[in-house]
Amino acid sequence: MNKKTIRDVDVKGRKVLVRVDFNVPIQDGKVADDTRIRAALPTIRYLLDHGAAVILMSHLGRPKGKPDPKYSLQPVAEHLATLLGQPVKFCPETVGPRAEAMARELKPGEVMLLENTRFHPGERKNDPEFARQLAALAGPDGLFVNDAFGSAHRAHASVVGVAQYLPAVAGFLMEKELQFLGRLLTSPERPFVAILGGAKISDKIGVIRSLLQKADKLLIGGGMANTFFKALGYEVGDSLVEDEVVPEARAILEDAGEALVLPVDAVIADRFAADAARRVVPVDQVPPGWRILDIGPQTVERFKAELRGAKTVFWNGPMGVFEFPPFAEGTFAIARAVADLKDAVTVIGGGDSVSAVKQAGVADKITHISTGGGASLEFLEGKELPGVAVLEDK
C-alpha cells in the first residue's frame, strides 16, 4: 500500500475531517449492529490521542438528498460516545452556520459527528461547492482522512470532493482493507480459493473474470449459479435466472475450464417461503414450478474438499436464501469450513457473508472481515476506487 496514512502526518492541534462508514442498521432509535462503528475506533482514538480535533462525517441509508428523521445519525453519535467513553457532539446540520460554529469551537481531543451527508443533494453529485463547505469545517490547516473503505468506490463529495481542498490520507481501517485485499490481487499464498454467491451474476461478471485469473479455484453458489445452469442447458424450474447474461455465463464456462466449480445438487422449494415444501435434487433435475434456494449436501462436501489445504480464501455472497432458516445450512456449512482452515488467510467481503459468519458463530476465526461489499468486489476486479485514488502517495 503506497498511500499515506495518519501515521505519516502530524495531526497535533489540527482539525481533522474524517469520512467514516457509519451506515449501520437502526432499530427503535438504537444502533442494532455496531460492527462498522467499532471498525473506525482505532483511527478515531489515534487522532484524539495525538491532539487532533475530530470532525466525523458519514452517510446512512438512502434518504434521497433531503433530511429524513429515519436516517438521522443522532443514535450513532450516542452509541459512539459510549464506545469512546467520552462525549460526541452531534451537529444536526451537515454544512451551514451551525456546523461552522461547532467546528470552530471544537478543541483538540474533542470529537463531533455531522448529520447524514446524504441529506444534502450535493453529496451524490460530488458537488464542488458542497465539498468545499465540508472541507472548510477543518479550517486552513485542516486534514482529510478517509477511513470509509465501504464507500471508496463512490465518487461522492464526502469521499473524493473534499480531497480537492484538503490534504488527504488513509485511516487505519482503509489501510487494513487495502493491505488484505491488495495481497489477494498481487501475492496470495497458494492454493487460493475464491467463493462467490448471492443472487445476481450481472454485477459480478468483472470480478468473476478477474478471480479466474488470480485464484486456483472459483466456487460458485447462490442464485448466481442458476444462470450458469441455464447456460449449460439445465432445466431450473422457477429459479432466479438472469436470461440476458446467459451468453456471457456460457463464455465464462468455456474459458474457465476446471477452475470454476458449480454445485452438483440443490435444496429446492415449491415456493419462495420459509415454510415451503423442500427436497434435495441434482442441479439438472429441478421440476417445473420448483426453485433452487440452497446448495445441497453433496455440494457442501465438494466445496469443503476444494477448500481443504487452501492457504488463501476470499468469500463474497451467501450460498442460498439464508434469511430462511431451512435454506441457510449451505451458507453456514461453508462459513464453518472457511473458519476451520488452519494456517490460511481468510477474507470475507459483503454484508450477507459477514452476517453469515456471525450467525454461524465463527466470525472470530476469520482473518479479515471486510467492511466493503461493493468496494471490495470492484477492487478485486482491478478497478481504481475513486476514494483511494485521491489519497496522497507516500
Q: Residues with catalytic annotation?
A: 36, 200, 351, 374
- Strands (DSSP E) contained in 73-153 are 89-91, 111-114, 143-146
- Asked if 229 and 296 touch (Cβ cutoff 8 Å), the reply is no
HSE at residue 186, side-chain half, CA atoms within 13 A, is 8
8-state DSSP, 30:
E
> CA-to-CA distance for 162 and 165, rounded, in angstroms?
5
Kindly give the interhelix angle for 329-339 and 351-359, rounded to the nearest 10 degrees: 80
| Grid cell in block for residue 335 | 462459513
Tell me, rounded to whole angstroms, the distance of Cα 238 from its chain centroid: 30
One-letter-per-residue 3-state SS of 334-391 = HHHHHHCCCCCEEEECCHHHHHHHHHCCCHHHCCEECCCHHHHHHHHCCCCCHHHHCC
Cβ–Cβ < 8 Å for 238, 291: yes
* Rounded-to-integer distance, Cα 58 and Cα 80, Å: 13
